[in-house]
Amino acid sequence: MALARRGGVESPLRGAESPAAGFATRGDVRRVGKLKLEKAALAGRYLIQQRLAVGSRNEIFLARDESSGGLVVIKARGAEVFGQPLSAGGLSPVVARFRREGIWLDRLRHPHIVRRLDGGAARDLAGAAFDYHVLERLAGGDLATVSAASGGLPFAEAVRLLRQAVVALTHCHVLGVIHRDVEPGNLLLAADGQTLKLADFDAAASDEDASGGEDVFLDSDAADRPRVYLPPECQPGRLSPLSATIDVYALAKTLYAVLTGSPPADCIGQPIVALPSRLASLPAADALLEVLNQATAMRVTDRYPTVADFWSDVERVIAPPPGRALIGAELDGIASFKPEASANGSDDRPPVASPRPPAESGAPDHPSVADLPSPLMTRLIGIGIALACVALFIGGLTALYRFARELARELRTGRPAIAAPARPLFCVKTLAPTKALAAPTENPTPRDWVGDLSAGTEADVLEMRGNFYRARPQKWAKRRDASITEGWIPRESADGGW
């Protein structure tokens, strides 16, 4: 496919790593500056409109898909980074990891993980090789920008959004993938601001890699990757066995950052031991701090083993005790409070919660005691479930008895019991004398024979399997037993049917 550029040809690869396919090799080791893709047509389909961002690792472009007419995001990476050692295939580790990100995204398809629509490799207008992913566009921004702009999200809103990240991470962990780069900047929002998706899998690794995989920091990546969300075992230069606790640690600090509007920069590689004054005055602050402290413990074995376990305790902390207002309501005012900085740049004043507007009509965020079923209704539901379980058990026993009876009949008669459908599929006529068999087999034995059909015998076809019909002839030339009413005949022994 032609790339819309001066005299260049694109190479839309799908996993190959040959020089002819457009990937950089040992003879093409150089790190060019910004990719020149303005107004280029990538893969003859994606028209680049503008550059959205440039980092030391990747460049992000906005493009229009000429096939669908919609907007997409192009995540591109120059094929080589100067000074990086090359693998046996002529690739630097960061490029190999970028391509592996595409594999993870294709494998981990989920409603709360950013979708990869396409990908490959090409050369830009200046002839520089690069790899790219075509991703869905999420117009709501990232959670880091949104939370920082408002000085921290309301507690109920933060929990609602991050609950979607928990679902996505649990899906990844079930499939054996550790994200290793969970932070607010990698949690993207849809245009409605309600749907959250997990992005940026270029640091992801399989939990089967006992060595811990590659260092999360590779060369120029270190400048972009926030260290505050990395546990001690993932800090620069350290490798350790991978586990879900890496993402538990990062998710806990992400929750802290989303609530406060800024990351806990004073505890890089350390557990969270204190909350800012705006959160510390809340009634449930001690319980929340205890959960965050355990999730960010220095020792892997002291943390929650899964993100689901961690989030279960977070939800328990925010659950309102009987007769008390929701903690989410208390924290909404805290999050909307924006203090003025003091002369020394610090802010030690107590929070002033702004009044919360009256709730709109509709279902409440959490069920009240009145919404819960009565003890009698709960008991009736339990009885109904028990009766359903008994009915399923009896039905299972009945099916097992019928199966055993048919199996015993097959062993006794030497042929499988064949149940005919209510009506035949079609009718055929034998073209030559044909032997009917008890089962569809290419190498029958005398034991498989159930009868003979004369040429021109009409038969109803009840089932097709491979090169055989299960047929019910209207007349038998000979059969092993008078109770036999059907058998398997080769398809080539009959006409096309009607």
Active-site residue list: 181
- Other C-beta atoms closer than 10 Å to the C-beta of 286 total 11
165: Cβ contacts below 8 Å, ≥ 6 apart: 112, 182, 187, 196, 198, 251, 254
**Cα–Cα distance, 262 to 471 (Å, whole number):** 75
d(CA 288, CA 273) in angstroms, rounded, equals 11
Burial string for 355-375 (b: 16+ CB within 10 Å, else e) reads eeeeeeeeeeeeeeeeeeeee
Secondary structure (H, E, C), the chain: CCCCCCCCCCECCCCCCCHHHCCCCHHHCCCCCCCCCCCCEECCCEEEEEEEEECCCCEEEEEEECCCCCEEEEEEEECCCCCCCCCCCCCCHHHHHHHHHHHHHHHCCCCCECCEEEEEEEECCCCCEEEEEEEECCCCCEHHHHHHHCCCCCHHHHHHHHHHHHHHHHHHHHCCEECCCCCHHHEEECCCCCCEEECCCCCCEECCCCCCCCCCCCHHHHHCCCHHHCCHHHCCCCCCCCCCHHHHHHHHHHHHHHHHCCCCHHHCCCCCCCCCHHHHCCCCHHHHHHHHHHHCCCCHHHCCCCHHHHHHHHHHHHCCCCCCCCHHHHHHHHHHCCCCCCCCCCCCCCCCCCCCCCCCCCCCCCCCHHHCCCHHHHHHHHHHHHHHHHHHHHHHHHHHHHHHHHHHHHHHHCCCCCCCCCCCCEEEEECCCEEEECCCCCCCCHHHEEEEECCCCEEEEEEEECCEEEEEECCCCEECCCCCCCEEEEHHHECCCC
Residue 312: count of CB within 10 angstroms of its CB: 14
Q: From CA 166, how far away is CA 461, in angstroms rounded?
A: 54
Longest dimension (CA), the chain: 108
The pair of structure tokens assigned to 104 is 């993870």
